[in-house]
Structure 1
Amino acid sequence: MKKIQTKKLKSVNSNTLLATVDIGKNVLSGYARCPDRSEVKPFDFSNNLKGFSRFWNILIRTQRAYGLEQIILGFESTGAYAEPLMHFLKNKPVHLVQVNPMHTKRVKELCGNSPNKTDQKDPKVIADIIELGHGLTVIIPQGAAAELRRLTQARERAVKRRTALFNQLHDLVFISFPEFLQVMKDIKSKSAQYLLRHHPGPEDVMALGLESLAQVLKRISCGKLKLAKAQALFEAARSSVGIREGRLGLGLEIQAMLEAIEVCERFVKQLEAEMARHLEEIPYSRLLLSMKGIGPITVAGLIGEVADFTHFETQKELLKYAGLDLFEISSGKHRGQRRISKRGRPLLRKLLFFAALNTVRKGGIMHEPYQGHLQKGMPRIKALIAIARKLLGIMLALVRTQREYSHQQTQLAQAA
């Protein structure tokens, strides 16, 4: 992977062709500016190989015509639509940078003192922002890190689909057999799903009989659910207030939900197996795994989101990349509260937050620092965010020093 860092771009020099792109789904708008302020007026090109080649050829011709040494190409952080162009350009002699869409929105009115927004105006605004030095270098993961990013994002989407399915299943069961949810507290458990698959309605439970129901529960739960649970469920079915009409449609939909949940769970397991396999290809993954309470799935997700820890020189850069950098709004005598910016990768912050939850438990590596924050009066959420920031700093320090974690080495974060 290229050695590139996520830091602010230095001022564009007199040998630089500054090119920008306003990203769209089907049509993109390109623009180029030379050091003498002459420019290639905004032009459209298609989001395909033919369009990319036309755009690149225009840049090369302009660079040669003005005798410029380098090309800096900037665009807004706009998600999936920019990725084909990024991967087309990653092996070209061009320096890719991105700008925050919020910056584009705020600088836009400076151009003509108007809030007017057009595809012809946006590329020029992006160029203005980059000239001011507010562009960030793009990190494009490659190899195992690229696979981990895609696998992590696929797992996140699959987990969200599974959660949505469970919520829909909960609603359907409440309509047909509301007492089921009161007796079987966790609808995600294997015992609850088995009963809903084979005996979804109160009349099905009644037809099974108390003795058979007790045997089924004991077998499915491996002896954890006793006779008392079977009796409670049987009595709930006998006095259920679930609707009597339209049960066929409800039953069919419940079965479909359960099948979809099973498909999601198989897919998540498949993704996790692939994540563990690709994680072994990352040399420094063992260093991160040496931190008690942070498992392979979390480490794989973190590496996928960061792309490569070795690309960052300081903890400050990495915190900003994650959106965990602090800011406050103060004026005069007013002092605002310090908060995290959230202008980074949201999934990276989520993974770090859950890692913090695991490590602050009693006996965890971050239990003492967490308790220290609480004793100072810090709210739980803010204390967990502070631990997440600390964990990220320790991870960077472990990678930089090539040392495994030990409880006495928490000061490594200060060296990052």
Structure 2
Amino acid sequence: MKKAMLAKEGTLIVTVDIGMTNNHGYCSAADGRSSKTFKFENTRDGFDALWTMVLASKAAFKCDEVIVGYESTGPYVEPLIHYLKKKPVKIVQVNPMHTKKMKEINDNSPLKTDSKDPRVIADIIRVGHALSVVVPEGDVAYLRRLNNARERHVKERAALLNQLRQFVFLTFPEFTRVLKTIFSKTALYILKKYTTPDRIGRASQEELDEEMRRLSRNKFRTRDAAALINFAKNTVGIQEGLQGLVMDIQHVLIQLELLAGFIAAIESEMEITLRRIPYSRNLMSIKGFGIVTVAGLIGEICDFTKFTTQSQITKLAGLNLYEVSSGKRRGQLRISKRGRSLLRKVLYYAAMVRDGSEFMENYADQREQVIKEAA
């Protein structure tokens, strides 16, 4: 994503304020001549009405080319982008923060209306503060969807694990005295099979010992099974309404199993799709780069050939540096975070685990500790 050139004479600037149901459009020439703001729906007829208005304005203002701009405000613009991609136009977007500031510059008012916003967007494009749009296609578009789906499921899993930890604390606070984390395979198996502290307390020590050894690959000992049974018999976990909490725990465990299957299926699709992208092999050859990392990079960056400098990709990820300094005070350097957050996350984790990274030793120590606790 790079800054678009200043709109020159003979260019029709078409701007759209995006909504979920209806959009508001506006057409203006580089010299200031313009149409009235008009409304159109997010339907085929609505998009066709927009295009009819564009052609009419292009002829009326005697323009040679068309720039269509919008404020980047979420997924509602995507159908329109794919519709316009087939038309002879250049598509650009503007930063919502620029729109907010330009409104107050224009009339010293923070007023926001559907008729005002497209005119403000046109002013931003006219002075050259718009960004070009890279629309993913084919396998790259599929990877972006897979990345977004995986990210959603991972967040859902984290939320469910936090719920599970709370429920287990209420029913059996001593559980983590033996199994340090309830997120391990061993802990999840016991919670699913025995459901309550009472059932764990009445379990056969030999059977529980064998199960814990098998699931943890002999990281647990006989004394651990005995300790868990003893804690269960004398737990201070609540008894009132216990069955309701048990139902919650079982429901969360079912959801976690489903999510594990979804995430595995997504990663399998990522691997299959990457095989169809020739240059993915080059990225996979980098130490520390796995399927999820490479799929994330390609899906978020899209077409690497659209970028001519490293700084353009840095800005796309929101990793460009800035500081706020005034007079003798020098501000601290920070990253802008005005970019694709998932790309930042992918690059961050890739830097954390790469061989030779200054974070590698610390990461390896923490990973080893987590594996021990998860056993």
Same fold (TM over 0.5): yes
Q: Give the Cα–Cα distance (whole angstroms) in 2 for the partners of residues 348 and 145 of structure 1.
A: 14
The DSSP-based 3-state class of the residue aligned with 2:35 is strand
Q: Does 1:366 align with 2:357?
A: yes
| Deviation of 1:81 (Å) | 0.8
When the two structures are aligned, how many residues end up with a matched partner? 363
Whether 1:57 and 2:52 are equivalent positions in the alignment is yes
* CA–CA separation in structure 2 for the residues paired with 1:218 and 1:283: 44
Report the Cα distance in structure 2 between the residues aligned to 1:306 and 1:344, rounded to whole angstroms.
Answer: 11
Aligned counterpart, 1:203: 198
Name which of 9, 12, 15 aligns with 2:7. 12
Alignment-derived partner of residue 257 in structure 2 = 262
In structure 1, the partner of 2:373 is none
Match of 1:224 among 202, 219, 225: 219
Partner of 1:105: 100
Structure showing greater relative contact order (alpha-carbon pairs closer than 8 Å, 6 or more residues apart):
2
SS at match of 1:20: strand
Letter in 2 for 1:66: F
CA–CA distance in structure 1, aligned partners of residues 216 and 345 of structure 2: 32
Q: 1:83 aligns with which of 51, 58, 78?
A: 78
Quote the RMSD (CA, aligned, Å): 1.7
- TM-superposed deviation, 1:256: 0.8
> Aligned-pair distance for 1:219?
2.9
Which of 167, 191, 194 does residue 172 from structure 1 map onto? 167
TM-score by length of 1: 0.85
Which of 341, 347, 367 pairs up with 1:346? 341
Match of 1:249 among 240, 244, 253: 244
Give the alignment partner of residue 187 of structure 1, picking from 171, 174, 182: 182
Determine helix, strand or coil for the equivalent of 2:54.
helix
CA deviations on 1:73-98 (whole Å, 9 max, x unpaired) are 11011111111111111111110000
CA shift, 1:279, in A, is: 1.0
- 2:273 aligned with 1:278: yes
Measure how far apart 1:244 and its partner are. Answer: 1.1
Runs of 4+ in 1 over 3 A off after TM superposition: none
Match of 1:37 in 2: 32
1:239 maps to which of 234, 238, 243 = 234
**1:19 and 1:261 mapped to 2: Cα distance?**
47
Q: Aligned with 2:106: secondary structure?
A: coil
User: Unaligned regions of 5+ residues in structure 1, if any?
Assistant: 1-5, 375-379, 381-416
Return the alpha-carbon distance in structure 2 between the equivalents of residues 228 and 23 of structure 1.
Answer: 63
Range with greater deviation from structure 2 (260-269 or 336-345): 336-345
Of 277, 286, 297, 1:291 maps to 286
Query: Aligned partners of 1:35 and 1:344: how far apart in 2?
Result: 28
**Partner SS state of residue 107, structure 2:** coil
Match status 1:133 vs 2:124: no
Counterpart residue identity of residue 22, structure 2: V
Query: Following TM superposition, by how much is the alpha carbon of 1:67 offset from its aligned partner in structure 2, in angstroms?
Result: 2.5
Q: Is the 8 A contact 2:203 2:229 kept in 1?
A: no
- Per the TM alignment, residue 218 of structure 1 is displaced from its structure 2 partner at its CA by 2.0
Task: Determine the structure 1 residue equivalent to 2:369.
Answer: none
Letter of the 2:202 counterpart: A
Contact 1:199 1:205 in 2 (8 A): yes
1:297 maps to a residue whose letter is V
282-291 or 219-228, which moves further after superposition? 219-228
Larger deviation, residues 341-350 vs 232-241: 232-241
Superimposed CA distance per residue, residues 153-203 of structure 1 (whole angstroms, 9 cap, x where no aligned partner)? 000000000111111111111111111122211211111111000112111
Identity %: 49
Match of 1:414 in 2: none
Q: 1:111-166 CA distances to partner (integer Å, 9 max, x unpaired)? A: 22211110100001101111111100011100111000000000000000011111
Paired residues of 2:16 and 2:118 also in contact (CA < 8 A): yes
1:319 equivalenced with 2:280 (yes/no): no
TM-score by length of 2: 0.94
Which segments of 5 or more consecutive residues in structure 2 lack a partner in the other structure?
363-375
Q: Which residue of 2 is the match for residue 21 of structure 1? A: 16
SS at 1:109 equivalent: helix
Give the drift of 1:280: 1.3
